Chain A
Amino acid sequence: MAEIPSPETLEEKLLLDRLNRMEAGGAGYYAVQLHLSDLKSSNRKPHFVRLAARNFDVLINQHEATLFQMKNADLVLLCRNVPVNEVEIPVEKVRALFSEDPLTHVDETGLAEDRLSTWYDLSEQEDFRAFVRVVGHLALEAEEVAKREAAEQAAQQKSVGQPLTAQHLTALAQVLPRVPIDDLIREQLCLHIGANGPEGVLFREYFISIGELKKRIAPGVNLFSSIWLFQYLTEALDRVILANLAGRNFEKMNEPISLNLNIGTVLSRDFQNFHRAVSGHEENVVIEMQVIDIFSDVDAFTIARNMLQQNGYRVLVDGISPVSMQFFDPAVLQADFIKIGWGKEFENEESDDSKVAGLRRIIRDAGKESIILSRVDSEFAIQWGLNLGITRFQGFLMDRLIDAVRAQGRRARMKKDRAAAR
């Protein structure tokens, strides 16, 4: 969308206009509001909402019905003398589309209200007034959002940049070896959390900050726009991080380290050089590999995993979402660790008991000592994990947690020292 719609063209306004022009309340009219704004953020994406809206195409062509797409992702259908049965068909299709989302779950008891849709009989004064109020709110909100978006869009255009192309990669391939990026290597701790807080460090992951990398070598390019081209780029980054870590003294490391590599890299000469540097300290090195990489060549993964484990390294499978655990059993991959990415979308997850029980079982079967919840950024995430039996966590909250613990330890030590000095 190149142009920012002027407030007059906001669908909320158009709908409000329609309502205002309805005389005598609106005999024969009714409205259905689909609360897609309550979907989990991962499902509330514009292209998904567009798909949902298309389910109404047939209805709109055949009946006196209009669909309005609200800025907050809600859909509002305005109907005149349309059989309710006919409207239910596309509504149920939308429900099926988002069947994984708690919003669409139907209450078996029939007592609770449907969370997906609200129906208003506009020929009833009470419903009519309530609906006008709702739309009025939506219109106000939409105006605000539109203004904010206009500003954000301009800023975002700058920061996200144009999609990554093969041409960009060519340029990047030339630049990468010449620009020092060792200082972009970041670290993150993976902790074992027990009943009384952190109980130990599982490992410290080293990775190149992609955000910083983008700023330094490709400020105008969206590196994530093509998953395949991004994967290609990571192969080049593997070499940088391997060379950097090979230069460190493994004797003196007091915590295990971990790094994320392509399978191709693990089987390459670059890794052999690294292996020589590690020599004797393999048990302190965890090698992470991505699910997308594994699925595209399971044979190569099997060879790499066996080779690593035989040499004493530990193997971690990264890039698994709680959703994907319901579709394949990660234990089959015979890795030492499995990393599950936490996402905000699980915050609104209702306590769907069967799903929680299912996840708990999968985690138990895979061995809960091997499961790590990553991208942990809130207390809620930790609680969510603990509830499923997870005791290993990674994320910026963990780094803060350990900082706090260490500061406490220092204070305690200082107190002890002072006491001893007296």
Chain B
Amino acid sequence: MATAPEMQKTLPSQEKLLLDYVRRLEKHRGDRQVVHVHLSQLRPFNRREQHIRAATSSFDPLISALAGQLFALRSADLIFAFKSQARPQVETVVQKVRFLFSDDPLIAEASTHEKPFATWYDAADQYDDILRLARELAEEEEERLTKVRSRMDARSSLRAKQEQGEPLTPDVLARVEDALGRADLSNYVRRQFVCRVDSKLVPDQEFSELFISINDLRETLMPGVNLTSNRWLFYHLTETLDKRMLSMLSKTDAITITGEISINANVKTLLSDEFQVFDDNVSASRRGAMVIELQKEDIFSDLPAFLIAREYVQERGYRVLLDGLTMQTMFLVDREKLGCDLAKLIWTPALADAGDEVKERLREIAASGGGGRMIMCRCDTRESVEFGRSVGIDRFQGRFIEGLIAEDGRRRDLLKLKHRIQRGTSPGEDEEMAE
């Protein structure tokens, strides 16, 4: 959410406006109150622009009734200054905002949380506290702005814009798909391993997910496009890529595959001719070593078709993985009922903060079907693995796991080297035996 530098030059910050307001407040301190709503303490996924917008608009009726003034701070915190007689209405609105985020630990565990959701001030006797708060906020913002300004010269601001990119529109998508048709995608195939990880953080590879790296593709084929800016167009693009992957795998020479692998697919793709061709090219014995990953929203968009496709591919020997579970959908979607062999839960730090009840339910789900069917993916920290293991999940995927594999590889290489050196010190024994 980088505000363009020129905007910052022309518009005073909300923090500065707040300080001005509070200074002028001194005269009316007798019948004014202030509430500070600590939205910045919410989990990041609850702090998206649309959420904050929903929260700020809750104050609209009060503002239009001239009962008070709202300051939406850079940190996402809200400060509302109002006439004392409006206190009951303001309390209702704050309650409403709190309800918007009722799933957030900030609210769910309010009693154990050191920071409250909202702090109330009465200007009559706390004017100095209010002034101090406003000053601190204004100073912090001023400091941040100077930092940003010095860092953000024209070139880097341009780069930031480019990194966020041109939004994905149908027009851009059409151009991208056209370019994809002509590109050799085999260079963009990446694999990421799903590993069993033990208490000593030693990874044991189970299977690897093959996918076309959208990030790498973006850099070469469509620099400057923010592919995730529209969900539906992005899904369509991934569907196209999944099909290309399938046809690459159908031509055995396009990419060499070893070991157990997983691929992404749509229900519709599994019922298509492309999949039949792929299936014809896979030897029966290989099918048992293959996992097909399906997204939950795809499954639920046509459940009867999914049931038939799942039965069919499982019958042929493939395993089916339910992909894309989040903390919220975890309890909504039942892997066992859907008949999927495996499921992937996306790691977020919020899982670790979610409380004992969530952990307990997660433990139950992880143990279902004899355990070993739940994979935690997008693990980028040690914390993710530690949390997973604490609820009975022992299979992981993500950048952190790739790091563990590399580390493990280095360790093995060292060991090999050590053996070789040891052999070297007792000269020629093996060779003599061989002769």
Asked if B191 is at the interface (CB within 8 A of a chain A CB), the reply is no
A332 in complex: contacting residue of B103, B231, B331, CB < 8 Å: B331
A interface SS class: helix
Question: Do the beta carbons of A321 and B315 come within 8 Å of each other?
Answer: no
A307 pairs with B54, CB closer than 8 A = yes
CA distance A232 to B233 in the complex (A): 7
Q: A297: CB under 8 A from chain B? A: yes
Given A51-B271, A173-B170, A332-B331, decide whether A327 and B337 contact each other with a Cβ distance below 8 A. Answer: yes
Nearest-Cβ distance from residue A249 to partner chain B, whole angstroms:
20
A47 at the interface (CB under 8 A from B): yes
CB–CB B232/A231 < 8 A? yes
Complex contact A98–B308 (CB within 8 A): yes
B311 within 8 Å of A (CB atoms): yes
Q: A295, B297: Cβ atoms under 8 Å?
A: yes
How far, in whole Å, are A291 and B326 apart by their CA atoms in the complex?
16
Given A170-B171, A303-B50, also A310-B96 (CB < 8 A): yes
**Contact status of A297 and B174, CB under 8 A, knowing A228-B236, A321-B304:** no
Cα-based distance from A42 to B236 in the complex (angstroms): 25
> Which residues on the A side are within 8 Å of B312 (C-beta)?
51, 97
Contact present for B100 and A310 (CB under 8 Å): yes
A326 to B339, CA, bound (A): 12
Which residues of chain B have C-beta atoms less than 8 A from A50's C-beta? 276
Interface residues in A87-106 (C-beta closer than 8 Å to B): 93, 96-100
A303 to B333, CA, bound (A): 20
In the assembled complex, the Cα of A297 lies from the Cα of B303 at a distance in Å of: 18
Tell which of A48, A275, A319, A328 has the most Cβ of chain B within 10 Å.
Answer: A328
Does the CB pair A100–B329 fall under 8 Å? no
Bound Cα distance from A84 to B303, whole angstroms: 34
Q: Which residues of B are found within 8 Å of A295, using beta-carbon distances? A: 296-297, 300, 329, 332-333
* Closest-CB distance, B322 to chain A (whole angstroms): 11
Chain B residues with Cβ under 8 A from A54's Cβ? 276
Interface residues of A in 217-243 (CB under 8 A from B): 226-229, 231-232, 235
Residue on B nearest A173 in the bound complex, by CB: B170
Residues 31 to 61 of chain A near chain B (Cβ within 8 Å): 42-43, 47-48, 50-51, 54-55
The residue that A321 contacts in the complex, of B230, B268, B303, with Cβ under 8 A, is B303
Please give, as numbers and ranges, the residues of chain A lying within 8 Å of B157 by CB-CB distance: none
Chain B, residue nearest A165 (CB)? B174
Taking a contact as CB atoms under 8 Å apart, the answer to whether B174 and A167 are in contact is: yes
Task: Judge whether B45 and A299 touch: CB under 8 Å.
Answer: yes
A55–B338 CA distance with the chains assembled, in angstroms: 22
Are A302 and B315 closer than 8 Å at their CB atoms? no
Q: Is B307 an interface residue (CB 8 A)?
A: yes
Say whether A348 faces chain B, with CB atoms less than 8 Å apart.
Answer: no
Q: Would you call B239 an interface residue if the criterion is a C-beta within 8 Å of the partner chain's C-beta atoms?
A: yes
Residue of A42, A302, A329 near B328 (CB, 8 A) is: A302
Write the A287-303 contact mask toward B (1 if CB under 8 angstroms, else 0): 00001100111111011
For A167, A172, A173, A307, the residue with the greatest tally of chain B CB atoms inside 10 Å of its CB is: A307
Min distance, Cβ A317 to any Cβ of chain B, angstroms: 11
* B contact patch SS: helix
The CA of A235 and the CA of B101, in the complex, are separated in Å by: 25
A292 to B296, CA, bound (A): 9
Nearest CB on B from A265, distance (A): 11
Residue of B nearest to A325 (CB): B303
Q: Which of B169, B297, B311, B334 has the most C-beta atoms of chain A within 10 angstroms of its own C-beta?
A: B297
A66 close to chain B: CB less than 8 A:
no
* Contact indicator B50/A267 (Cβ below 8 Å): yes
User: A387 — which chain B residues lie within 8 A by C-beta?
Assistant: none
Residue pair A306, B170 in contact (C-beta under 8 Å) = no
| Known contacts A97-B308, A323-B303: A267-B54 contact under CB 8 Å | yes
Among A50, A96, A98, A306, the one with the most B-chain Cβ atoms within 10 Å of its Cβ is A306
Q: Which residues in B have their C-beta under 8 angstroms from that of A421?
A: none
Interface positions of B from 54 to 96, Cβ below 8 Å from A: 54, 57-58, 96
CA distance A371 to B169 in the complex (A): 37
Does A296 contact B50, Cβ atoms closer than 8 Å? no
State whether A272 touches B169 (Cβ < 8 A). Answer: no
> Closest Cβ of chain A: how far from B159's Cβ, in Å?
28
User: Are B308 and A328 in contact, with the CB atoms below 8 A?
Assistant: no
Evaluate contact between B308 and A327: CB separation under 8 angstroms.
no
Contact mask A130-161 → B, CB, 8 Å, 1/0? 00000000000000000000000000000000
Q: Are B315 and A93 in contact (CB under 8 A)?
A: yes
Which of chain B's residues has its CB closest to A275's CB?
Answer: B57
How many Å lie between the Cα of A227 and that of B300 in the bound state?
A: 12
Contacts of B54 in A (CB 8 A): 267, 303-304, 307
* Complex: A168 Cα to B171 Cα, angstroms: 9
Sample of 11 more A-B contacts, CB < 8 Å, known A100-B304, A295-B300, A300-B50: A47-B272, A51-B271, A173-B171, A268-B50, A299-B46, A299-B326, A303-B101, A306-B99, A310-B96, A323-B303, A327-B334
Which 8 residue pairs across A and B have the least CB separation, nearest first?
A169-B170, A166-B174, A298-B328, A166-B173, A228-B236, A267-B50, A295-B297, A232-B232
Pairs A–B under 8 Å by Cβ, sample size 26? A50-B276, A51-B271, A51-B312, A97-B315, A99-B311, A100-B304, A165-B177, A166-B233, A167-B170, A169-B170, A229-B232, A231-B232, A264-B231, A267-B51, A267-B54, A295-B297, A295-B329, A295-B333, A296-B235, A298-B326, A299-B326, A299-B328, A319-B301, A327-B334, A328-B333, A329-B332
